[in-house]
Structure formats: structure tokens, C-alpha cells
Amino acid sequence: MRICPPLFGCLEPSCMCLCFFSLIQDLLGTTMNSTVLPPGTFWGQYQDITRFNTHLSVAERLWVAWYAWVQNDVLATGIMSFVIHELFYFGRSLPWIFIDSLSFFKRYKIQSSKVPSLLEQWDCAKFVLLSHFTVELPQIWLFHPTAQFCGLSTSIPFPSPWTMIYQIAIFFVMEDTWHYSFHRALHWGPLYKAIHKIHHQYSAPFGLAAEYASPIEVMILGFGTVSCPILWCAFTGNLHILTMYIWIVLRLFQAIDAHSGYEFPCSLHHFLPFWAGADHHDLHHEKFIGNYSSSFRWWDYLLDTEYTPDALKRRRGKKVKAKKTEDTMI
């Protein structure tokens, strides 16, 4: 006999599952007729779900089996969230470590004289891992209760690709605004010295250094990544945790690629001129000023904090024009 997990509608601790199908009836919205007891392993759960729910996709069956096997929503979501973050963060960083080790790619290195050594990358990885376990893990564990309170869905079916695409696009815009505002604030003298200076230890960034930052900065900027979707969910009541996961993975990829230190002919900003990319953020690390946005260039352009050759030329032109106007008035 197994206690029914809260995800599937049985909230009373004394409620015993008399049949597997009643366990997931609320989730699937179907009528269950068999009286098979739930198996005790993850793959047992998956096989039983597959046997009687062929209309579900493989991903949906795995999803249901995971929550049914763990039987604790907070634990299931917490483990899955942390593992996804670690796998994709370090998995996306590994190719850049490999690229840094090959002289062939040096021609594409923005600051070609500053290639990080393996020791530097190892020291960075240790610091980031410590931050993940001491700062990010507690936040991840609190994510499920907060998300559930705001109406985030963890059930099936999964949302349509179109729904996920337009929501993630909105999250990118929202988070970019958050990041610009607080990143620029962190460059104010006292805040820079107390908080943000750690992130600028590497004037020539590399992929692993994307989350090399003080615990306070990790919480401030990371809060924007998580709170923007949660805010959307609170107002619309329409967000699935799978969309949240895909959004976080894409945001991780963006941050790591922006810190990679490489500019390729195929870099995304060549096709999307408003995309920031590595050339935009590398200058920020090299000059310690300007280019505060995370994903897009428009806030730096509109608020005149862009630091590029074109922007510097534009500012010089404005100064010359203002000087001529002043001389004319005199």
C-alpha cells in the first residue's frame, strides 16, 4: 500500500491507493477501471502509466511517473530544478572550456591576449559550485511552494509550443529590464565595491564565469529570472513549470554565451541586431562601464549607456554639436 502524492489529488495522509488509476485520476482527467497497485520503482510507475495511457507523450509519461514515484511535490520539483540547473550550466560551459584550449579559435577571441588558464577555470568552477549549493539551492527549494501559491501548473498535458514560445519571449523582455536596472545600480560606487566587484574579477570573461558573483548579487539578479515568470503567472494564472524550466535553460545559455569572450561570424547579433551577445558584454567587463543589459541592446541605446565604437562616435558628435550651439549663443 502506498500513500497518494498530493500532486494527484489525495491530500489525506491516511488515504491508501486501492488502485493505480485512481492515483492519477485528477491529473489525467480520465476514468480508471483497473485495480493494479502502483509499483515501487520509477520505471515500474512509468511502465504502468504507459500501459494504460498511450495517448500521453513519452515526456508526459516520464513526468507523471517522476512525481508519482517521489510522492512529495516539493522534493520532486526541488531535485528536478537543481539537477536541470547544474547539468545545463556546466554542460553549456564545457564547450567553451574546450574552445579556450584550442589555438584555432583564438582568432575569434575578443580579447585575444587574455585566454583563461585551466587553473583559473577550475578556481572559478569551485566558487560557482559553492554558490550553487549555499545560495541557489535554498532558493530552488522554496520555488515550488511559491510557484504553487501563484498558480503555477505542474500537471499534464504540457502547454503547446506556441504558448511556451510567446511566454518565454515575454520573460526575456521582462528580465532584461530587471537586469539592466539592477546591474546599472550595482555599478554605483558603494554597491560596486561591496557587491559587484567580485563579478568583475575577470576583465576578459569566460563561460564558467557567468555566475561568478557575490551571494547578494546572485540573489538580486537571479530573483529577476525567477520572479518575472512568477509575476506573469500571478496575473494571468497561465504558466506551466515546463515553460519555466525551458526559460531558465535558455537564460543560462544566454548568460554563458555572453560571457564566452568569443565573437563568431555566426553570432546571433549578426542576424538580430537588437540582441546583445558576447561582443556587447565583453566590452562591459573590459571597460567596467556601460552595456548593462543582459539579452537586448535597446535599454543601453535608449538610456545612453551603450559602450560601442558607434555609441562613442555618436556621443562625440553630440558634444561637438552642443559646443557649436553654445559658441553661437555667446
Mean pLDDT score across all residues of the chain: 85
Q: 267-274: long-range contacts (C-beta < 8 A, 24 or more apart)?
A: 273/297, 274/298
Q: Which pTM was predicted?
A: 0.82
- Split at pLDDT 50, 70, 90, the class of 216 is very high
User: CA-based Rg of the chain, rounded to a whole angstrom?
Assistant: 24
Distances (CA, A) of 48 to 38, 109, 260: 8, 52, 45
CA angle in degrees (0–180, nearest 5) for 85-86-90: 115
Question: Which of residues 139 and 119 earns the better pLDDT score?
Answer: 119
pLDDT digits (tens, 9 = 90+) for 150-162: 888 888 889 999 9
Q: How many angstroms separate the CA atoms of 9 and 24, rounded? A: 8
Please tell me the predicted confidence (pLDDT) of residue 215.
94
Please tell me the predicted confidence (pLDDT) of residue 74.
85
pLDDT digits (tens, 9 = 90+) for 281-321: 999 999 988 999 999 999 999 999 998 877 777 777 776 66
Residue 160, C-alpha cell as written in the block? 503547446
pLDDT digits (tens, 9 = 90+) for 45-99: 888 888 888 888 999 999 999 998 998 888 899 999 999 999 999 999 999 999 9
- Split at pLDDT 50, 70, 90, the class of 147 is confident
Residue 276, C-alpha cell as written in the block? 546583445
Q: How many CB atoms lie within 10 A of CB 87?
A: 11
Main-chain phi, psi angles of 216, to 5 degrees: -65, -45
Question: Which of residues 24 and 181 earns the better pLDDT score?
Answer: 181
- Split at pLDDT 50, 70, 90, the class of 229 is very high
Beta bridge partners of 153: 240
Please tell me the predicted confidence (pLDDT) of residue 198.
96
Please tell me the predicted confidence (pLDDT) of residue 308.
80
Please tell me the predicted confidence (pLDDT) of residue 286.
92
Question: Which of residues 324 and 169 earns the better pLDDT score?
Answer: 169
- Tell me the one-letter amino acid at 304: D
- Split at pLDDT 50, 70, 90, the class of 40 is confident
- Tell me the one-letter amino acid at 299: W
Q: Considering only CA atoms, which of 71, 87, 55 is closest in space to residue 10?
A: 71
- Split at pLDDT 50, 70, 90, the class of 133 is very high
- Split at pLDDT 50, 70, 90, the class of 322 is low
**pLDDT > 80? residue 277:** yes
- Split at pLDDT 50, 70, 90, the class of 18 is very low
Q: Calculate mean pLDDT across residues 174-186.
A: 97
pLDDT digits (tens, 9 = 90+) for 234-256: 999 899 999 999 999 999 999 99
**pLDDT > 50? residue 20:** no
Residue 96's contacts (CB-CB under 8 Å, 6 or more residues apart) are: 206, 207, 208, 256, 260, 261, 262
- Split at pLDDT 50, 70, 90, the class of 37 is very low
**pLDDT > 80? residue 200:** yes
On whether the CB atoms of residues 100 and 116 are closer than 8 A, the answer is yes
Question: Which of residues 195 and 29 earns the better pLDDT score?
Answer: 195
3-state secondary structure the chain: CCECCHHHCCCCCCCECCCHHHHCHHHHCCCCCCCCCCCCCHHHHHHHHHHHCCCCCHHHHHHHHHHHHHCCHHHHHHHHHHHHHHHHHHHHHHHHHHHHCCHHHHHHECCCCCCCCHHHHHHHHHHHHHHHHHHHHHHHHHHHHHHHHCCCECCCCCCCHHHHHHHHHHHHHHHHHHHHHHHHHCCCHHHHHHCHHHHHHCCCCCHHHHHCCCHHHHHHHHHHHHHHHHHHHHHHCCCEHHHHHHHHHHHHHHHHHHCCCECCCCCHHHCCCCECHHHHHHHHHHHCCCCCCCCECHHHHHCCCCCCHHHHHHHHHHHHHHHHHHHHHC
Question: Which of residues 319 and 196 earns the better pLDDT score?
Answer: 196
On whether the CB atoms of residues 135 and 214 are closer than 8 A, the answer is no
CA pseudo-torsion sign 86, 88, 91, 93: negative
On whether the CB atoms of residues 156 and 62 are closer than 8 A, the answer is no
